[in-house]
């Protein structure tokens, strides 16, 4: 009997490891809690348990939220594009919102340390958040001082009018990003999903009202729509920040009391500085072609190119959903489990992106219908950008593994720098001859370079075959085959 029991335990452990591999998106099965002495478990009983289905459904709910945000953002973009009287106003609005991202992504990089510090380094929560709160107050003070200077220069230089809007929004965007990072690190994915809907939904309501008013009073309202839209953009970001902070504090279970802590500050700033520069380079990679189009093709070219960029980047909602779902686990798991999690997430993300790109390519002529014939020139660059966004959408999972699991924050910097250099070089050569299509070619080429470098770096530091990234495994097929019947049986049982 003892020998028999030991044999059963051994076979159970093997089955359990297999199932945990299949369920790599979440910590679905805990061997210490699920195994009882003398109790036999079968493969199907473990695989089809309710926790597994609930976890997978949570991943799909996250994707649903992301796609919902994409739909809301898309509708807002359509309304804004339609009620602006000129392509120049649309281009100016795009330049203002894109410029904000440079500042916010750079300064929000310090928030990335929350996940690494809590889940990898196991730092005390109150101490870490105290250092982060102190940094935020310092940043906000500097931004307010710059805002005062910018407002004073508005009458002399019109460009400072738009800079003032950017500086006014910036503290609230940073506050929102820090709070969202904390919720992600705590694996409070449901709250992250809900809060991400707030700003987009409020802006959609405001844009719909402006669209209706513009039709009713076109002559009086049209010249002021750009300023009104920027004010709406400011107010919705303030509201989103005001709502997420108390939720983050409640879920963290501690006050955000600013403090000076040298022991925490040293790794905080060492990690945060590199991530912030990485984020800045990433944003340059995202929008380097955008600014090159603005310089070489003018604001009308920016307006057309903006539609192509925003439409193609809807694909990234899929990859961001999976990244969000595994955000905390990539840092928290041991190296081998984190590798398996990254590879499985990469496989599902990559082929989902390809499928989505094919569908969006087929639907590309609808741009002429949705945005009116003025934006027919956006179709060709949109089709080209789909290739690059598909490649780059899966890259984020690998860089997340490098920074949060391996602690390698330098490689993403080098990768982004090489990608930016490629982007800028091709833009300078191609845009004068091909127009905005040249910008799309430059961006897609740079994105493919980023994916190639990331894959090679992953292989070097994990000693894993590339097959593990690009080929489905038996467990993947089992995952896909088993999940759908289980959902059906659950729905029948509930009836």
Q: DSSP string covering 443-471, please?
A: HHHHHHHHHHHHHHHHHHHH---THHHHS
Instruction: Provide the 3-class DSSP secondary structure of residue 52.
Output: helix
359/370 Cα distance (integer angstroms): 17
C-beta separation of 303 from 438 below 8 A: no
Confidence (pLDDT) at 476: 66
The set of residues, in sequence order, having a beta carbon less than 8 Å from that of 320 and lying 6+ positions away, is: 66, 396
Question: How large is the greatest C-alpha to C-alpha distance in the chain, in angstroms?
Answer: 90
425/421 Cα distance (integer angstroms): 6
Closest listed residue to residue 454, CA positions, set 404, 412, 420, 409: 412
Residue identified by tokens 């905005």 is: 436
Query: CA-based Rg of the chain, rounded to a whole angstrom?
Result: 24
Tokens of 316: 């990234």
371 sits in which H/E element: none
C-beta separation of 264 from 131 below 8 A: yes
DSSP state string for 284-296 = HHHHHHHHHHHHH
Confidence (pLDDT) at 487: 44
C-beta separation of 408 from 461 below 8 A: yes
Residue identified by tokens 């805990």 is: 30
Residue identified by tokens 């061997």 is: 31
259/262 Cα distance (integer angstroms): 10
Task: Please state the domain extents for the chain.
Answer: 50-482
Residue identified by tokens 């939904």 is: 201
C-beta separation of 237 from 79 below 8 A: no
Confidence (pLDDT) at 489: 44
165/226 Cα distance (integer angstroms): 12
The set of residues, in sequence order, having a beta carbon less than 8 Å from that of 39 and lying 6+ positions away, is: none
Confidence (pLDDT) at 64: 74
161/95 Cα distance (integer angstroms): 13
Instruction: Provide the 3-class DSSP secondary structure of residue 214.
Output: helix
Four-residue CA torsion sign, 190, 195, 200, 201: positive
Per-residue pLDDT of the chain (495 residues; tens, 9 = 90+): 334 434 444 444 444 444 444 444 444 333 334 443 334 344 344 344 444 455 556 666 766 777 777 788 878 888 887 777 677 777 788 788 878 877 888 888 888 888 888 887 888 889 999 999 999 999 999 999 999 999 999 888 888 999 999 999 999 999 999 999 999 888 887 888 888 888 889 999 998 988 888 877 665 666 788 888 999 999 999 999 999 999 999 999 888 889 888 888 988 988 888 888 878 877 777 777 777 887 887 767 777 888 888 888 877 776 666 665 555 555 566 777 778 777 887 887 888 888 888 998 998 888 888 877 878 888 999 999 999 888 888 887 788 778 777 777 778 888 888 988 998 899 889 988 888 899 899 999 999 998 999 889 888 888 888 888 888 776 666 655 654 544 444 444 444
Count helices and strands in the chain by DSSP H and E runs: 21, 0
Tokens of 399: 């860089």
The set of residues, in sequence order, having a beta carbon less than 8 Å from that of 428 and lying 6+ positions away, is: 292, 296
């Amino acid at each position: 009997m003892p020998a028999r029991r030991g044999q059963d335990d051994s076979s159970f452990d093997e089955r359990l490891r297999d199932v945990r591999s299949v369920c790599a998106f979440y910590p679905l099965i805990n061997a210490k809690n699920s195994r009882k002495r003398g109790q036999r478990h079968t493969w199907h009983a473990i695989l089809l348990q309710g926790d597994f289905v609930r976890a997978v459904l949570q991943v799909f709910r996250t994707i649903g939220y992301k796609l919902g945000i994409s739909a809301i953002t898309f509708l807002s973009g359509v309304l804004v594009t339609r009620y602006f009287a000129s392509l120049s106003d649309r281009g100016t609005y795009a330049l203002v919102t894109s410029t904000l991202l440079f500042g916010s992504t750079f300064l929000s990089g310090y928030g990335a340390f929350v996940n690494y510090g809590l889940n990898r380094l196991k730092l005390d929560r109150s101490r870490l958040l105290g250092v982060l709160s102190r940094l935020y107050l310092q940043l906000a003070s500097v931004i307010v001082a710059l805002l005062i200077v910018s407002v004073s220069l508005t009458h002399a230089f019109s460009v400072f009018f738009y800079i003032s809007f950017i500086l006014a929004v910036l503290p609230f965007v940073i506050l929102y990003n820090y709070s969202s990072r904390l919720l992600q690190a705590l694996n409070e994915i449901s709250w992250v999903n809900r809060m991400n809907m707030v700003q987009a939904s409020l802006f959609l309501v405001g844009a719909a009202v402006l669209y209706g008013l513009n039709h009713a009073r076109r002559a009086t309202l049209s010249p002021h729509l750009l300023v009104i839209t920027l004010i709406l953009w400011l107010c919705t970001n303030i509201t989103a920040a005001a709502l997420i902070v108390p939720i983050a504090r409640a879920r963290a279970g501690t006050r955000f009391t600013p403090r000076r802590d040298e022991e925490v500050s040293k790794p905080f700033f060492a990690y945060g500085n590199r991530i912030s520069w990485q984020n800045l380079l990433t944003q340059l990679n995202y929008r380097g072609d955008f600014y090159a189009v603005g310089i070489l093709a003018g604001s009308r070219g920016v307006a057309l190119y903006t539609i192509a960029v925003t439409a193609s980047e809807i694909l990234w909602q899929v990859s961001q959903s999976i990244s969000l779902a595994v955000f905390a686990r990539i840092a928290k798991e041991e190296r081998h489990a984190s590798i398996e999690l990254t590879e499985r997430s990469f496989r599902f993300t990559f082929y989902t992106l390809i499928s989505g790109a094919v569908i969006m390519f087929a639907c590309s002529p609808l741009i002429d219908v949705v945005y009116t014939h003025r934006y027919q020139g956006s179709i060709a660059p949109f089709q080209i950008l789909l290739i690059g966004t598909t490649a780059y959408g899966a890259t984020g999972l690998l860089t997340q593994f490098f920074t949060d699991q391996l602690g390698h924050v330098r490689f993403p910097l080098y990768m982004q720098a090489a990608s930016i250099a490629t982007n800028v070089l091709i833009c300078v050569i191609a845009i004068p001859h091909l127009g905005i299509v040249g910008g799309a070619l430059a961006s897609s080429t740079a994105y493919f370079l980023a994916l190639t470098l990331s894959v090679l770096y992953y292989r070097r530091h994990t000693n894993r075959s590339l097959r593990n990234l690009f080929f489905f495994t038996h467990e993947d097929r089992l995952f896909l085959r088993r999940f759908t019947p289980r959902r059906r049986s659950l729905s029948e049982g509930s009836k």
